[in-house]
Chains A and B, each alone.
Chain A
Amino acid sequence: MDTMTILSLSVETAIGPVAAIYVLAAIGLNMHFGYTGLLNFGQVGFMLVGAYGVAVSVATFGLPLWMGFLVSLACSVVLALVLGIPTLRLRSDYLAISTIAVAEVLRLVYRAEFARPVTGGVYGRQSFADAFYDANPLPEGSLGVGRVDFSSDELWLMLVCWLLVAAGLAMMALLMNSPWGRVIKGIREDEDAVRSLGKDAFTYKLQSLVFGGVFGGLAGAMIALNQQNITPDQFMPQVTFYLWAMLLLGGVGTIWGPVIGPVIMWFMLTLFDETLRGMASTGVLPFLATSDSGPLRHALVGVGLMLLIVYRPQGLVGNRKEMLVNVK
C-alpha cells in the first residue's frame, strides 16, 4: 500500500458516488439547519425511509424502479410531516431529541421480526437495482484518469448522483433568493420578529422540514442503488453526526458548503483510514490493531465536530457574520 495508491483511493472516494450521496443528504440538512435553524439530528431517518422506499417497493412488491423513487419521496414527506407537526411549535432542542428518537425508532421497527415479510428484518433487502444498471448507457469497462478509475456502473451512478446534486443546488439557490427563502432565513435569525410581521412561522418551518427531508430521502434511495443491498443497521445515528460534521466543515447556510464539506471529509477520512491501516499492517504502530481504525476515525470526527463548532462555526466557505448559529 504505497502513498500513490492511498491518495488515488482517497480521490476516488471524494468524487465517488458515496460522497455525492452524502452531498445530497447534506443539502437537505443545510436546508434544515443552515437556512431555517432547525436542529434535525435524524436526517438518517429520512435516508432510511428513502432507501427502503426503493428497496421494498421493488423487491417486495415488484413495482418498477421509478415508482420506487416516488414511494421514497412520498415516505420522506410523510416522515417530515409526522416529525414536524408535534415538535416544530416547541423549542428547537425538543426537535433535536425527537428527530434522533424517531430515526432510531424507525431503525428498530424496520429491523423488527414482525416487519420481516416487508423489510426483510435484519437481513434487509437485496437485488432491486438491476433496472437502474440495465439502463446504463455508458460503455463497458473501467474509465478514468491515471490511477483514479471507476467501473462503468459506478460512473453511471456517479453521473446520476452528481446531476441530482446540481439540480438540488440550482433549486436551492433559486429558492433562497425568493421571498420564501428570505422568510426562512428570517426565521433562523429571529422567529418572533418574523411572526410579528404576520408570517406563519410554523408552516414555513414545516415546509422547510419537508423540503430538506426529501433530499435526505433521495440520498437514501441512491444509497440503495449504490449498495444494492441494504440492512437497517447501516442507518445508525452516527450517519447523521457525520453529516453534521461534513456540513459544518463545508459551511452552514451557504450554497457550496454542503458540497465542499462531504468531498473534503471523505478525502480526509479515506486518507486517514488507509494510512492507519497501512501503518498498522507494517507494525509501525504496535499498540494499534487494524480494526481500531474505524473507532479512531469516529473519535476524530467527534473532535473535528467540537473544534469546528467552537472555533469556526461558519466552516470553510461560510460567512461568519451571517452564520453565527445563534439560534435560541
Chain B
Amino acid sequence: MRTRLVTVLLALIAATLAIPGTAAADTQGGASLFGQIRQPDSDEGVEGIDITVSQDGEQIGEATTDSDGNWEVELPGAGTYHVVLDEESVPEDYDAMQVPAGPERDVEVREDQRFAVVFQLVPAGQGQASASPSESESAEEDEESQQDSGSAGGGEEEGAIEAPEAASGSGMFGQVVSLVVAGLLFGLIIAISSVGLSLIFGTTRLINFAHGDMVTFGAIMAMIFSGTSTLAALHAPFEGIPGLGFATNPFVVATVLAVVCGGLLGWLMERFLWRPLRRRNVAMIQMFIVSIGFALLLRHVLLVVFDANRRKYVQFRIQDMIEIGPIAITPRDLGILVLSIVVLVLVASMLQFTRIGKAMRAVSDNRDLAESSGIDVARVTVYVWVLGGSLSALGGVFLGLNQSVYWQMGFHLLLLMFAAVILGGLGTAYGAMVGGLAIGLVAQLSTLWFSSQLMNVWALLIMIVVLLFRPQGILGRRERVG
C-alpha cells in the first residue's frame, strides 16, 4: 500500500515535470504590482490616479489608472516595495481611505508574483469610520494566508450571518416588537433547516457537517433556476391571472425545483456516500470527518460555479413595508413567516400521524429496537435524507430571500443550526424546531443591548451553557451522554 502511494506521488511529480516549459510559461512575465481603483459603492473605475512604486528610496516605476481604474507596475524581481498613491491626483469627489493603511504601503513580492494592492476611495469629507473595511491587501495572492481567494476585498462578508433587517420601530417597545418579528423569522429559517440535521443524527448517528452547504446549495439552485429564460417564458402566458400567475412565477417554480434538487442531493449522498460507508463499517468519527471533507468539496464547487459575490433574488429585491398594528414587515418576509410555519406544521403532522413519520421517530429513538420490530431502517434512512435535503434547500431559499445569497451563507448558518439542535436535543425533530426559534430570538434580541456583530456569539454561548447544564437539550431524553 505504502509503495503504491509512493509510486503515485512519483508519477504525479513526473507528470508535472513532463509539462513542456512553454505551456506553463507566464505570459505576464516577472513580478508586478497591480490593482483596480474603484468608486466607492460601485464597480466603476476611477481614471487618472497616479501610483508610484519605489524600493529603498529609489523609484522603480509609476502608473496611472486607465478608464477602468486599472493600473499595473512591472517589477525587477522579488523584494519589498513601497507603493504610494498620489493623493493630489485623486478626483475631488473622493478621498483615499486612511484605514487600514492609508495611501502608502509596503508590500513584499515573491519571484514572478502578480501582487494585488488594494486602495480604496471614500466620498470626500465622509471621514474614515464610514468606509467599509477591506481585507488586508495581502489576502489575494498570498499563499500564506489561509483565506479563500474569493473572500478578498469583501471584509464585511466574513462577519457571518447578518441580522435580518429589523424595521426601525418607534421607541423601545417598537424596537422590541420588530426584533421579535425578525427573531421569529430567523428562528423559523433555522428551524426548517435544522430539522433534517437533527433527524439525520437521530437515524444514523451522523453529525452531518455538510448540512450548511446543502442550505447554500438550495439557495443557489433557486438563484440559477429563477434566472433561466425557460421559466420566464413559462410564466409569460399566465401573467396577470390570479393564482396561476403566482404559481408560475419563475421564482416560485425555481423554489420548488430547488427543493426537489435538495432532496435529490440528500438521496444521492445517502445512496452513494453514506450507505457504502456504513456497509464498510466505517466508525462514526470517520464519517464525521468525511462529512467535513464533503462540505469543503461542495462549498468550493459552489464557489467556483457561483463566484464570491452576494446576490439577491431579482424578483424580490425591494418591497414596501406593510403595517399591521405595531409591526411593520415586508410582504416578502411575511410570506416567509407564514410559509415556514405552514411547512413546520406539515412536517410535524407528518412525523406525528403518518406511518413513515412514526417510523422516522422510532428509528431516531432507538435504531435497534425499531429494526427488530420490523421497520425497514434502510428505507427510513433514505426518506430522512430526502426530507432533510429538501428542507435544508427550502431553508436556504428563505434565508437567501430574507438576506442575500452567497457561497458561505450555509456554513455561517451551520453553527447556529448546531446550536439549535443541541439546545433542543440532538436527534429530536421537535427539539430542532424549538431550539431554532430560541436561537433566532436570542440572536436578534441580543442586538437590543449589544453590537449586532456579536449576535452569533450569544447564540453560540447559549449552546455552550446548555452543554454545561443540560447536555441532552430541552426536549432530549435524560441519558448518559459521556
User: Quick check: B457 and A108 within 8 Å, CB to CB?
Assistant: yes
Expressed in whole angstroms, the Cα–Cα distance for A233 and B152 within the complex equals 10
User: Quick check: A328 and B286 within 8 Å, CB to CB?
Assistant: no
Q: Which residues of B contact A182 (CB under 8 A)?
A: none
User: Quick check: A312 and B99 within 8 Å, CB to CB?
Assistant: no
Q: Which residues of B contact A39 (CB under 8 A)?
A: 285, 288
A236 touching B296 in the complex, CB below 8 Å, given contacts A3-B16, A94-B467, A278-B25: no
Closest chain-B Cβ to A68's Cβ sits at a distance in Å of: 20
Greatest chain B CB density within 10 A among A101, A109, A234, A275 is at A101
Q: Which residues of A contact B10 (CB under 8 A)?
A: none
Expressed in whole angstroms, the Cα–Cα distance for A271 and B16 within the complex equals 9
User: Quick check: A1 and B26 within 8 Å, CB to CB?
Assistant: yes
User: Which residues 252-301 of A sit at the B interface, judged by CB distance below 8 A?
Assistant: 268-271, 273, 275, 278-279, 281-282, 284, 291-296, 298-299, 301
A90 touching B471 in the complex, CB below 8 Å, given contacts A2-B21, A96-B207, A281-B27: yes
User: Quick check: B304 and A6 within 8 Å, CB to CB?
Assistant: no
User: Quick check: A94 and B471 within 8 Å, CB to CB?
Assistant: yes
User: Quick check: A294 and B422 within 8 Å, CB to CB?
Assistant: no
| Dominant secondary structure of chain A at its interface with chain B | helix
Q: Which residues of A contact B2 (CB under 8 A)?
A: 316
User: Quick check: B296 and A3 within 8 Å, CB to CB?
Assistant: no
A109 touching B99 in the complex, CB below 8 Å, given contacts A279-B23, A305-B289: no
Expressed in whole angstroms, the Cα–Cα distance for A231 and B158 within the complex equals 12
A94 touching B422 in the complex, CB below 8 Å, given contacts A123-B133, A282-B27: yes
User: Quick check: A303 and B454 within 8 Å, CB to CB?
Assistant: no
Which of the candidate stretches B63-71, B117-125, B143-151 sits at the interface with the other chain?
A: B143-151
For residue A30, CB closer than 8 A to chain B, the reply is: no
User: Quick check: B285 and A325 within 8 Å, CB to CB?
Assistant: yes
Q: Which residues of A contact B303 (CB under 8 A)?
A: 295
User: Quick check: A233 and B158 within 8 Å, CB to CB?
Assistant: yes
Closest chain-A Cβ to B415's Cβ sits at a distance in Å of: 5
Q: Which residues of B contact A294 (CB under 8 A)?
A: 148-150
For residue B277, CB closer than 8 A to chain A, the reply is: yes
Expressed in whole angstroms, the Cα–Cα distance for A295 and B295 within the complex equals 13
For residue B318, CB closer than 8 A to chain A, the reply is: no
Expressed in whole angstroms, the Cα–Cα distance for A231 and B467 within the complex equals 30
Expressed in whole angstroms, the Cα–Cα distance for A306 and B155 within the complex equals 30
A299 touching B301 in the complex, CB below 8 Å, given contacts A13-B143, A309-B290: yes
User: Quick check: B294 and A302 within 8 Å, CB to CB?
Assistant: yes
Expressed in whole angstroms, the Cα–Cα distance for A18 and B144 within the complex equals 7
Closest chain-A Cβ to B435's Cβ sits at a distance in Å of: 13
Q: Which residues of A contact B148 (CB under 8 A)?
A: 236, 238, 294-295, 298
Q: Which residues of A contact B293 (CB under 8 A)?
A: 245, 301-306, 309
Closest chain-B Cβ to A216's Cβ sits at a distance in Å of: 14
User: Quick check: A123 and B100 within 8 Å, CB to CB?
Assistant: yes
For residue A152, CB closer than 8 A to chain B, the reply is: no
Interface string of A309-328 (1 = CB under 8 A from B): 11011001000000011111
Q: Which residues of B contact A309 (CB under 8 A)?
A: 286, 289-290, 293
User: Quick check: B136 and A229 within 8 Å, CB to CB?
Assistant: yes
Q: Which residues of A contact B284 (CB under 8 A)?
A: 93, 328
Interface string of A1-32 (1 = CB under 8 A from B): 11101110100010000100000000000000
A100 touching B415 in the complex, CB below 8 Å, given contacts A90-B471, A295-B149: yes
Q: Which residues of B contact A87 (CB under 8 A)?
A: 464, 467
For residue B482, CB closer than 8 A to chain A, the reply is: yes
User: Quick check: A105 and B460 within 8 Å, CB to CB?
Assistant: yes
For residue B241, CB closer than 8 A to chain A, the reply is: no
For residue B135, CB closer than 8 A to chain A, the reply is: yes
Closest chain-A Cβ to B296's Cβ sits at a distance in Å of: 3
Greatest chain A CB density within 10 A among B16, B143, B146, B482 is at B146
Q: Which residues of B contact A296 (CB under 8 A)?
A: 300, 304
Whose C-beta in chain B lies nearest to the C-beta of A264? B9
For residue B172, CB closer than 8 A to chain A, the reply is: no
Whose C-beta in chain A lies nearest to the C-beta of B27? A281
| Dominant secondary structure of chain B at its interface with chain A | helix
Closest chain-B Cβ to A97's Cβ sits at a distance in Å of: 5
Closest chain-B Cβ to A71's Cβ sits at a distance in Å of: 23
User: Which residues 92-136 of B sit at the A interface, judged by CB distance below 8 A?
Assistant: 99-100, 110-112, 133, 135-136
Greatest chain A CB density within 10 A among B24, B150, B160, B451 is at B24
User: Quick check: B100 and A299 within 8 Å, CB to CB?
Assistant: no
* Complex partner residue of A325 from B21, B286, B415, CB under 8 angstroms: B286
Whose C-beta in chain B lies nearest to the C-beta of A104? B415
Closest chain-B Cβ to A281's Cβ sits at a distance in Å of: 5
Closest chain-B Cβ to A42's Cβ sits at a distance in Å of: 11
A234 touching B147 in the complex, CB below 8 Å, given contacts A3-B16, A328-B284: yes
For residue B338, CB closer than 8 A to chain A, the reply is: no
A3 touching B24 in the complex, CB below 8 Å, given contacts A242-B146, A299-B300: yes
A282 touching B23 in the complex, CB below 8 Å, given contacts A5-B111, A238-B148, A294-B150: yes
Q: Which residues of B contact A239 (CB under 8 A)?
A: 146
For residue A102, CB closer than 8 A to chain B, the reply is: yes
Q: Which residues of A contact B288 (CB under 8 A)?
A: 39, 93, 96
Closest chain-B Cβ to A286's Cβ sits at a distance in Å of: 14
Interface string of A105-138 (1 = CB under 8 A from B): 1001101111000000111100000000000000
Q: Which residues of A contact B135 (CB under 8 A)?
A: 231, 233
Whose C-beta in chain B lies nearest to the C-beta of A320? B1
For residue B324, CB closer than 8 A to chain A, the reply is: no
User: Quick check: B286 and A313 within 8 Å, CB to CB?
Assistant: yes
Closest chain-B Cβ to A271's Cβ sits at a distance in Å of: 6
Expressed in whole angstroms, the Cα–Cα distance for A270 and B112 within the complex equals 14
User: Quick check: B149 and A305 within 8 Å, CB to CB?
Assistant: no
Greatest chain B CB density within 10 A among A2, A5, A18, A109 is at A2
For residue A52, CB closer than 8 A to chain B, the reply is: no
Expressed in whole angstroms, the Cα–Cα distance for A121 and B300 within the complex equals 27
Expressed in whole angstroms, the Cα–Cα distance for A309 and B207 within the complex equals 16
Q: Which residues of B contact A281 (CB under 8 A)?
A: 26-28
Greatest chain A CB density within 10 A among B26, B151, B207, B282 is at B26
Q: Which residues of A contact B297 (CB under 8 A)?
A: 299, 302-303, 306
User: Quick check: B481 and A94 within 8 Å, CB to CB?
Assistant: yes
Whose C-beta in chain A lies nearest to the C-beta of B283? A326
Closest chain-B Cβ to A9's Cβ sits at a distance in Å of: 8
For residue A227, CB closer than 8 A to chain B, the reply is: yes
Interfacial residues, chain B to chain A (CB-CB below 8 A): 1-2, 5, 12, 16-17, 19, 21, 23-28, 99-100, 110-112, 133, 135-136, 138, 143-151, 155, 158-160, 207, 277, 280, 282-286, 288-290, 292-301, 303-304, 411, 415, 418-419, 422, 451, 453-454, 456-457, 460-461, 463-464, 467-468, 471, 481-482
Q: List 13 A-B contacts (CB under 8 A).
A: A101-B463, A112-B451, A123-B133, A238-B146, A238-B147, A241-B292, A275-B19, A301-B296, A302-B293, A306-B290, A306-B293, A306-B294, A327-B285
Ranked 6 nearest A-B pairs via Cβ: A302-B296, A294-B149, A305-B293, A306-B293, A302-B297, A278-B24
4 more contacts with CB within 8 A, not counting A104-B160, A269-B143, are A123-B133, A278-B26, A296-B304, A299-B300
